[in-house]
Amino acid sequence: MSEIRATARLLMLDAHGRVLLQQLNSANWPGIWIPPGGGIEPGETAEEAAIREAREETGFVVPPGLLGPVIATATGPRLSGAPGQSHSSYFFVRIEGLAKVEPQPEEHETRLLRGERWWTPDDLASTEELIAPQGLAGLLPPLLAGELPSRPQALA
């Protein structure tokens, strides 16, 4: 049985209705775009991991009270190329008014992350590039309209 690593990821929306995605430099998934986030460390809650990862990878400082709910989950192969699978919880957060500091990625993140880009729902729906999780584009319109799902949606 393969190991399943719990991860916390963020759907960070800006004032223009765009979501931040990061491109991975992974041998198994070259060029794939994913929301910021990463593994939940021992003794850490998913919320704490999301807040830590936001600061490390993007520089956005998310106060605990401003982190939105888990709006989606996905289980699949670890995109870093490590063996096993990951089970990701996707937290929602709007970035307007958040402090921004210099990102401080860990060494493995520096090697793995190729860049970042803000995507509109139309960008996501029309791109030929690989986006994970599948179904991400469908989550954005209700969020932009201020509608949060009553329970997390399962994505592929």
108 CB-contact burial (10 Å; exposed 0-12 / middle 13-18 / buried 19+): exposed
What tens-digit pLDDT sequence spans the chain (156 residues)?
568 999 999 999 999 999 999 998 877 778 899 999 999 999 999 999 999 999 999 999 999 899 999 999 999 888 766 788 999 999 999 999 999 998 876 776 667 777 899 999 999 999 999 999 989 999 999 999 999 999 999 997
- Count how many domains the chain has: 1
Which is it for strands 70-77 and 85-94: parallel, antiparallel or unpaired?
antiparallel
With tokens 């929602």, the residue in question is 92
Domain range holding 89? 4-155
What is the pTM for the complete model shown? Answer: 0.91
CATH code of the domain containing 47: 3.90.79.10
